[in-house]
Amino acid sequence: MLDTARVWLVVENEQEQKMAEQIKQKTIEKEPYKTLEITYKILKPFLRFNYLQIGYYLDDEHGILSGILRVNRNEYKLCDFKAETTINMFDFKPFFKKLTENIKMHSDTPIKILYYKDSPVWFEIQYEQNGNYEKRIGIILPQRSE
């Protein structure tokens, strides 16, 4: 399903699969995308934030999740965190709801995230259905860097 604002896509049929392949050719196959593999229990606390960020803490070369939380006029975020990609939760929450629709999310459900700067962010969820392992793919546009 492609949302009306054309900010995100959750692959549900052949037409959307073809659209995802076209996006893949323009992004993943041309840019040096990085992979972050997490479980649902790691992502879940960040669903309360205003922004989800993927980047690096201090000089570490391994990507981690972080976020920005706004309370009243104060902004809370991890110090010394260098965000490579920032996703607005206004867009992410309906995207993630659609991506996980009819999937029983467990704390150990694997989530694979492919990201690179201001390029579309790919989410891949692996889940079990009727004894078989399935994958659901979604693509969301990040906030543009300023």
- What digits encode the pLDDT tens for the residues 87-127? 999 999 999 999 999 999 999 999 999 999 989 999 999 99
As a whole number of angstroms, the distance between CA 87 and CA 76 comes to 16
Token duo for residue 12: 């549900």
Structure confidence at residue 145 (pLDDT): 61
Place of tokens 């052949």: 14
Phi then psi for 88, rounded to 5 degrees? Answer: -75, 130
Note the residue count of the chain: 146
For 2-80, list the strands marked E by DSSP: 8-10, 34-39, 51-57, 64-71, 74-77
pTM of the shown model:
0.90
Examine the pLDDT at 1 and tell me if it is beyond 90.
no
For the chain, list the strands marked E by DSSP: 8-10, 34-39, 51-57, 64-71, 74-77, 81-88, 110-115, 121-129, 132-140
